[in-house]
Chains A and B, each alone.
Chain A
Amino acid sequence: MYTASDLRKGLRIKIENDPYIVTEFNFVKPGKGQALYRCKLKNMVNGNQFERTFRSVDVFEAADLQEKRMQYLYKEEGKYCFMDNESYEQIFLSEDQVGESKNFLLDNIEAEVLLFEDRPLGISLPNFIDVIVTKADPWAKGDSVSGNTKPVTVQTGYQLQVPPFIEEGEKIRIDTRSGEYLTRVKG
């Protein structure tokens, strides 16, 4: 159980059977009046946001969230199939639930799937993945006019900006949180 004084950005609470995350938080107290806790809350299932003001007497249930390690298997009709590594049970996530991570779903990659009472909410991937560049314009040595980076496509179909010396067939490391190029991987 949480009380209103536990409220802070990032706290995850349960309201009417849905998990919510506090996305904005401010403490206000008019004059000699009671403390008020103004929050912006986001429904973690459907993404709806709303504002609500709580008082110090309000209490909240913690949202019962679990993370399970699962393996990405395949995509079918816009659904992403993951398998529980322990039970071999398979579940499907929507494109919304996978979010930006869809750009980094290598075959058989392991992800942490966030679950609320067995309903999947989203996934988080390892912070860094190594991928092969499948499409890149050749590097014209000495070509400094065209800028510092160039666009390439990697094996997941994701496009990003990389330094001009990266060639097709090379392996590069990407930060999955920002989606940005980090370094060239040898071998």
Chain B
Amino acid sequence: MIEDDSWKLTVRTDALRLRARMIRAIRRFFLHQDFLEIETPLRIPAPAPELHIDAVAAGAWFLHTSPELCMKRLLAAGYSRIFQICKCFRAGERGDRHLPEFTMLEWYRGGADYRALMNDCEALINTVAREIGLDGVVYWQGRRIGLNAPWERISVRDAFARYATISAAEALRTDRFDEVLACEVEPHLGMEIPVFLYDYPVEQGALARVKEADPGIAERFELYIAGLELANAFSELIDAGEQRRRFEETSRDRQRKGSAVYPMPERFLQVLPRMSPSAGIALGVDRLVMLLADKSRIDDVVAFTPESL
């Protein structure tokens, strides 16, 4: 017999109303700044190869894991302020903070680098919070987090030095970077005010531009609030030769670990040289709702989970 779980929908009414208001506020925020709202296809022939992100096959093509490549083709064609709110699909990702189908907000700024996106995050999240009646403070799972800008900015190297038992370099060398980041560093991030964790080892930023002053560092940041990872941003890599080399290396690594290898995104690589220096960011909308609605599980901010279908 199938369990009747319609009560789960009833108890989510408040969270779903809040979610709808937040999405309206996000749209308004970008439209007011002359961003163009874009829709790109969910089903694509060639997702960007990433070592630890697996696409869901849909016929001979794939459901996109993010709208990044199509958005960047628009940038290359001269669109300079674009945003999209869409579903993304990642195979095997399910936990208190993960759904295999989730809602992403992506935006891009032509002529900017990742620092401009930090300012965007501060302005956007404060605007959305005010829209739902939160004024400069959010309470999440018993913690009080101040939202007034400027937020904290800490490099990956400094964060490991402050919170972890080993350095970032040592963690990379022993293949424990992800584990130490998730278990020792992340739980401390953004517990009083939001934190931008920035300047990742270049191995951890497949589509990010390398820092001019330090070729070992990629211009990438992640935004954390109350230990929740909310957004990932890059100064975009626009060197097509370097991008192809990284894609090929990632594809080889995927093959070596037995993961599916995707076709090269040739059309993207073809137009990449025409893209002006830009910055782009992806923000998990479900996570932002979790934060502002004070919910500990992603299940509580969506109407349906895969298990309830």
Chain A residues proximal to chain B, CB less than 8 Å: 5, 26-36, 38, 53, 55-57
Contact = CB atoms under 8 A, between A and B. Distances in A.
B179 A36 contact: yes
A34 B52 contact: yes
A30 B171 CA distance: 14
A34 B180 CA distance: 12
Interface of B: 50-53, 92-98, 177-179, 181-183, 186, 204, 206, 222, 229, 232, 257
A30 B178 contact: yes
A108 B73 CA distance: 77
Given A30-B182, A32-B53, A55-B179, 11 more contacts: A5-B92, A26-B96, A27-B93, A28-B182, A29-B95, A29-B98, A33-B52, A34-B178, A35-B92, A36-B179, A56-B92
Nearest to B53: A32
A32 to B, nearest CB: 6
Contact of B98 (A27, A31, A53): A27
Contacts of A53: 179, 182-183
A35 B206 CA distance: 17
A57 B178 CA distance: 14
Which of B179, B183, B222: most chain A Cβ within 10 A? B179
A31 B204 contact: yes
A26 B204 contact: no
Decide if the interface of chain B is mainly helix, strand, loop or mixed: mixed
A5 B50 CA distance: 19
A55 B176 CA distance: 11
Which of A26, A30, A53, A56: most chain B Cβ within 10 A? A30
Contact of A32 (B97, B98, B186, B204): B204
A63 to B, nearest CB: 24
Contacts of A35: 52, 92-93
A55 B229 CA distance: 20
B165 to A, nearest CB: 14
A34 B52 CA distance: 5
Given A53-B183, A57-B257, A33 B178 contact: yes
Nearest to A38: B183
13 contacts: A26-B96, A28-B95, A28-B182, A29-B52, A29-B98, A30-B178, A30-B229, A31-B232, A32-B50, A33-B177, A35-B92, A36-B182, A36-B183
A31 B97 CA distance: 12
Contacts of B52: 29, 32-35
A5 to B, nearest CB: 6
Contact of A27 (B53, B94, B177, B179): B94
A26 B187 CA distance: 14
Contacts of A36: 178-179, 182-183
A47 B30 CA distance: 55
Contacts of A27: 93-96, 98
Given A5-B92, A35-B93, A36-B178, A30 B257 contact: no
Contacts of B179: 36, 53, 55
A33 B177 CA distance: 8
